[in-house]
Amino acid sequence: MLNRRNILQGMAVGAGAVMTAAMKPGNAMATPGTGRTTKRVIFFMQNQGFDPKTCIPEGMSSSGSLANATLPEPISPLESYKDRLHIINGLHGTHTTPSHSAFFGALGGYRGGDGVPPSASTIDYEISKLLPETLLPHLCIGMDSIENMTTKPTVANLSASGTGQPIFMHSNPNHLYQMLYGGISTGDIRKQHEAKSNLLTQVEKLASAKGRSLPGTAAQRYGQFVQGFRDTNGLQDRLSKVSAHLRKFAPVVDERYSNPEFETDWHDALLELGISALTSGITNTLTIGSGRGEIFGAWKGIGVEKQGHDLGHIAQPDNPIWIKIRQYNSQMLVKLMEALDSIPEGSGSMMDHTLIVYTSNNADKQHTSGANWPVMLLGNLDGAFKTGCFTQLDGKRPINALYTSILRVVGSNVDRFNMDEKLAKKFDSASGPVKEILT
191-214 tens-digit pLDDT: 554 445 554 455 445 555 555 554
pLDDT over 50 (residue 307): yes
Task: Give long-range contacts, CB 8 A cutoff, 24+ apart: 383-387.
Answer: 383/439, 384/355, 384/409, 384/438, 384/439, 385/86, 385/355, 385/409, 385/437, 385/438, 385/439, 386/86, 386/437, 386/438, 386/439, 387/83, 387/84, 387/85, 387/86
pLDDT over 60 (residue 51): yes
If DSSP codes are grouped into helix, strand and coil, which group holds residue 94? helix
DSSP state of 99: B
pLDDT at 23: 34
Q: Give CA–CA dist 277/139, Å, rounded.
A: 8
Q: What percent of the chain has pLDDT over 90?
A: 71
pLDDT over 70 (residue 416): yes
If DSSP codes are grouped into helix, strand and coil, which group holds residue 162? strand
Tell which wins on pLDDT, 53 or 213. 53
pLDDT at 303: 96
The whole-number average pLDDT for the span 308-320 is: 92
Residue type, 243: S
- Which residues lie across from 286 on neighbouring strands? 42, 139
Of the candidates 344, 415, 403, the residue with the CA atom closest to the CA atom of residue 43: 403
Q: Render pLDDT for 127-143 as a digit per residue (tens, 0 to 9).
A: 999 999 898 889 999 99
The whole-number average pLDDT for the span 332-347 is: 97
Q: What percent of the chain has pLDDT over 70?
A: 80
pLDDT over 70 (residue 22): no
The whole-number average pLDDT for the span 58-81 is: 97
pLDDT at 7: 34
Residue type, 431: S
Q: Provide the 10 A C-beta neighbour count for residue 97.
A: 18
Alpha-carbon distance values, 434 to 41, 102, 119, 404 (Å): 18, 22, 24, 8
pLDDT at 24: 36
